[in-house]
Amino acid sequence: MTTIQDVAAAAGVSRQTVSNVLNSPAIVRPGTREKVEAAVAALGYRPHASARRLRTQKSATIGIRLDPLAADGISGSILDRFLRALTERADRRNLRVLLYTAADATEEIHQFKRLREGADVDAFVLTSTFHGDPRTRWLIENSHPFVTFGRPWGADDETDPQHPWVDVNGRHGISQATTHLLNTGLRRVAYIGWPSPSGTGDDRRMGWRHAMEQSSGLNPGLIASMSAAVDDGVVSGAQAMRELESKFREIDAVVCASDALALGAFMQSGGLIPITGYDNTPVSSSIGISSVDQPIEEVAEGVLELLLGGRNGHAYPEAPGGQPTHRLLEPRLIVRAPLVKVIPTR
């Protein structure tokens, strides 16, 4: 099979230039463009072989990073669930899942190059996306098929997404949880989340604030003061809860951005007020903490459909209008009562 390297060698240009001719011909000088096009024709090179192989599902391989373990190991379990769901569904389609590790975005791009050069991976699945993510930029520039679990976190994610993505509407999940508590007659529903800026964190916090402003009857200034921003973890959740307790005579309930924070708040408060977490991890179900559940099986299914649904030799799937597609899925609130007793320290 002719590779992009063969074309580059035949045309006497770099591989990047061949990629530019194929993907952004306007930026290549006409003379160079013609040389490359001639080499493509002469060698019968068909770009995006990996995208095609992916669609024909002949021993195609998906590469995915094994995410670094989260500090508390509780919140990280959502990515383990995703990896499991993706591997099961890929298995059924006879796609292989290849793992790699990377400490940061730079290392991950290095892995992209390595796995791409060895022709080991036909498409990547990325998690933990962030605003201005250099990983997705690299894959777009190098026309390598990929889909992310997580938005690009740009202003135009839904109207004109930079790449195909699947995500869960965390803002709506947290808003549902808050509204549910307000509907049971509680008013002072506090929030413990992560510091700004964080795409996911800011989105979830907004869900709580909007619901409070709409339905609590409290004034916006008071609402704003009922929110804590701390790094994820059980101990920081307990600390934030202690601070909220010392600041306000009465807190009726707490909504948290993660189950790790919720466990800390639960232990600190002794389970005396309703606590809601996020991700429905085994920790919240074991202890009996309400939580927002992400439809992780649907996320995995959506990622594979977007990966396999590409058409017209494009590097990644597009909507009929020519834009990458996306799916924003809805989470579900799971309401629970504590199963575990908390007894006094003397």
Positive/negative CA dihedral, 110, 133, 84, 165: negative
Q: Which stretch binds a second copy (CB under 8 A): 88-96, 142-150, 249-257, 327-335?
A: 88-96
Count CB atoms within 10 A of the CB of residue 256.
33
3-state DSSP assignment of residue 272: coil
User: What is the rounded CA–CA span in Å between residue 261 and residue 258?
Assistant: 5
> Can the peptide bond before residue 197 be classed as cis, meaning omega within 30 degrees of 0?
yes
Length of the chain: 346
Among positions 38, 41, 42, 69, the unique one binding a second copy when judged by CB under 8 A: 69
Looking at beta carbons only, is 91 or 160 nearer to a second copy? Answer: 91
Looking at beta carbons only, is 186 or 218 nearer to a second copy? Answer: 186
Does position 56 bind a second copy by CB under 8 A? no
Does position 324 bind a second copy by CB under 8 A? no
Minimum Å gap between C-beta 336 and a second copy is: 12
How far is CA 280 from each of CA 76, 136, 236, 342, rounded to the nearest angstrom? 12, 28, 19, 21
Does position 328 bind a second copy by CB under 8 A? no
Angle between helix 134-141 and helix 105-117 axes, rounded to 10 deg: 30
Angle between helix 77-92 and helix 296-308 axes, rounded to 10 deg: 50
Q: Which stretch binds a second copy (CB under 8 A): 21-29, 36-44, 232-240, 326-334?
A: 232-240
CB 236 within 8 A of CB 170: no
Looking at beta carbons only, is 131 or 247 nearer to a second copy? Answer: 247
Binding mask 151-170 for a second copy (x = CB under 8 A): --------------------
Looking at beta carbons only, is 186 or 328 nearer to a second copy? Answer: 186
In this structure, what DSSP letter does residue 67 have? P
Q: Which stretch binds a second copy (CB under 8 A): 15-23, 123-131, 192-200, 266-274?
A: 266-274
Does position 106 bind a second copy by CB under 8 A? no
Among positions 267, 289, 306, 315, the unique one binding a second copy when judged by CB under 8 A: 267
Does position 40 bind a second copy by CB under 8 A? no
If phi > 0 it is left, if psi is from -120 to 50 it is alpha, else beta; for residue 288 that is left
Minimum Å gap between C-beta 274 and a second copy is: 14
Among positions 37, 73, 218, 297, the unique one binding a second copy when judged by CB under 8 A: 73
In 3D space, the residue among 112, 123, 46 whose CA is nearest the CA of residue 312 turns out to be: 46
| Residues at the contact surface with a second copy, assessed by CB under 8 A | 59, 61, 66, 68-74, 77, 80-81, 83-84, 87-88, 91, 96-101, 111, 118, 120, 233-235, 238, 260, 264, 267-272, 281-283, 286-287, 339-346
